[in-house]
Amino acid sequence: MLNDERSAWLEEMMERWEESLLRMCYAYLGDIALAEDALQETFLKAWRGYASFRGNASEKTWIMRIAINTCKDIRRGAWFRHINPIIALEQLPEAYQPFTIKDDAVTLAVMRLKPPLREVVLLHWYQGLTGTETAEALGISRSTVFHRLQKSQKLLQIELEDWYYEN
Kind and range of the H or E run holding 163 = helix 161-165
- Binding of other proteins by 68 (CB under 8 A): no
Nearer to other proteins, 38 or 65 (CB): 38
- Binding of other proteins by 58 (CB under 8 A): no
Nearer to other proteins, 2 or 87 (CB): 87
Q: Which residues contact 1 (CB under 8 A, 6 or more apart)?
A: 50, 51
Residues 132-151 interacting with other proteins (rule: CB under 8 A) = 132, 140-148, 151
- Binding of other proteins by 22 (CB under 8 A): yes
- Binding of other proteins by 49 (CB under 8 A): no
Among 49, 58, 84, 162, binds other proteins (CB under 8 A): 84
Of 131, 7, 1, 129, nearest to 54 by C-alpha is 1
d(CA 49, CA 123): 21
